[in-house]
Amino acid sequence: MKNKRVRSGFLFLFLLSIIFIPFRNVSALDDGASTLGDLRAIYNDLLKEKQEYDNLSAEAKAEIARKEAAISQAEADIHKAEEDMLQAEQDIAESNKRIEEMKVTASDVLLYLQQMKGTNAYVEYVTGATTMTDMIMRIAAVEQLSDQIHGTIDELEAEIKKNEELKVELEQKKKDLEAQAIEYQKIIDENYDKLEEYDKYAPGVKEQLDLAKSRLDMYEKKCQETVGSTADNVVLATCSTVPLNSGWLKPLNYGIITSTIGVRWGEYHNALDIGGPSPFEGTPVYAAASGIVSGMIPRYKCGGNMLYIDVFVDGKAYTTYYYHLLDFNVNLGDVVTQDTVIGWVGGYSTSKSHGGYDGCTTGAHLHFGVANGYYNPKVGIQRANVITPPGFPNSSGWSFYSRTDMY
């Protein structure tokens, strides 16, 4: 009964802090979510963004498929053009051979006619006709043989010209097809670049969407249980019986700052990295302030097991976040106190360099951060909201040996 009265007293004081302190003004939530309506808007925006990524990705994949099919067709056409060019070359060679043969034949016929015309054989052949018509036909037959040879030669020469033109045309077609294939490959490469960009951000969008949905579901349930409403204007801070915080504690019993908040390796590092003497992995991680577990991202490619806790300290709302956890020891929606073990230090066995899945760690440590306002999955942890965790300096090499050590 006493504990119940204490909890009721805490809740009463908590609600008084909401009543007497304008929530949105003091909690710096302009970039976060303060009401259920905010959470719904965030979720819907992320859902739309994910659908846009999915559509862009589908368009890029479809364009790649179209251009790959076009390249395959172009390659088939190039192969056909090469075969046709080879056939044209063979036809040209054959025609040239026949022309040479016909020229020899024509030369022999002409020589024979010239000789025959000067002999009795030609006269006898012509005068041997029984009628004038027969004689004319005999003379024409001799001349026709010569004309036919020359005509055949002309046809073969025309055929050679045609095949030469076809060869030039095919060579140009082959060049055009090769240029087209190169252009299609450029388009394919561009779309693969797009897909790479989509693949880079899409998983993040999906994680954000999942987190936004889980936060919305969790807070809807909490608000229904505590204030009996899930209307858009319900303030999130009124939806949980979180013990009041008058101050902060360290998330670990001991540690040393190994990396600070600020630009690091060309990117902004939004938290303190805390390491310790080996074996540090498996060290219990506590909630730095009492609050509600508002987000959990398991096995993320850059951050590993990531945990978010919404807290309210000295009348202000904050998000505390803990990355590279070996494992979680809480569930979404759990109310935690400063004595709650929320997980354990990871970062060594979970790292890619040691056979794990986390690409943003190489050794055991806790990535611990604090930001003004409740976490907004759509925009993530904003640089403007990040603060140096209370009780810590933003200085590498600073050590602490208890959870109450204050800088």
Alpha-carbon distance of 321 to 334, in angstroms, equals 15
User: For residue 284, what pLDDT is reported?
Assistant: 98
Domain ranges of the chain: 59-198, 242-407
| Rounded Cα–Cα distance for residues 398 and 275 (Å) | 11
Alpha-carbon distance values, 103 to 92, 99, 180 (Å): 16, 6, 44
Contacts of 380 (CB under 8 A, 6+ apart): 208
Residues 6+ apart with CB under 8 A from 47: 209
Within 13 Å of residue 190, how many CA atoms lie on the same side as its CB?
Answer: 9
To the nearest 10°, the Cα dihedral for 206, 236, 322, 31? 70
- Residue 182: Cβ within 10 Å count: 11
Question: What is 242-407's CATH number, 3.90.550.10, 3.40.190.10, 3.40.50.410, 2.70.70.10?
Answer: 2.70.70.10
Give the fold, CATH level 3, of 59-198: Helix Hairpins (1.10.287)
pLDDT tens digits, residue range 69-104?
988 898 888 888 888 888 888 888 887 787 777 767
Structure tokens at 179: 């240029």
Contact between residue 318 and residue 311 where contact means Cβ atoms under 8 Å apart: yes
Residue type, 308: Y
What is the pTM for the complete model shown? 0.61
pLDDT of 91 reads: 83
Over 50: is that where the pLDDT of 14 sits?
A: no
Q: Exposed, middle or buried: residue 110 (CB in 10 Å: 0-12, 13-18, 19+)?
A: middle
d(CA 270, CA 195): 28
The mean pLDDT of the chain is 81
Q: What is the DSSP string of 147-169?
A: HHHHHHHHHHHHHHHHHHHHHHH
280-337 pLDDT, tens per residue? 999 999 999 999 998 898 998 889 999 999 998 988 889 999 999 999 999 988 999 9
Tokens of 359: 């690409």
Q: What is the pLDDT of residue 24?
A: 27
CB 88 within 8 A of CB 167: yes
| Type of residue found at 16 | L
Q: What is the pLDDT of residue 262?
A: 93
Identify whether the C-beta of residue 337 lies closer than 8 Å to the C-beta of residue 243: yes
- Cβ(371)–Cβ(385) under 8 Å? yes
pLDDT of 4 strictly over 70: no
Whether 371 contacts 357, CB under 8 Å? no
The residue with tokens 């990396």 is: 259
Cis ω for the linkage preceding 390 (within 30 of 0): no
CA gap 99, 226 in Å, rounded: 104
Q: pLDDT tens, 119-169?
A: 555 555 555 656 555 555 656 666 666 677 777 777 777 877 887 888 888
Distance CA 161, CA 149 (A): 19
- Return the amino acid letter for 287: A
The sign of the torsion formed by the CA atoms of 111, 114, 119, 122 equals positive
For residue 355, give the 3-state DSSP assignment.
Answer: coil
Average pLDDT over residues 359-381: 89
CA dihedral of residues 371, 243, 225, 22 (deg, nearest 10) = -60
Which tens digits make up the pLDDT trace of 248-283?
Answer: 999 999 999 999 999 988 889 999 999 999 899 999
> What is the predicted pLDDT for the residue at 27?
30
H/E segment holding residue 114 = helix 36-117
* Sheet strands (E) in 329-365: 335-336, 341-345
Residues 6+ apart with CB under 8 A from 393: 257, 407
Q: Which tens digit of pLDDT belongs to each residue from 216-239?
A: 998 899 899 989 999 999 988 788
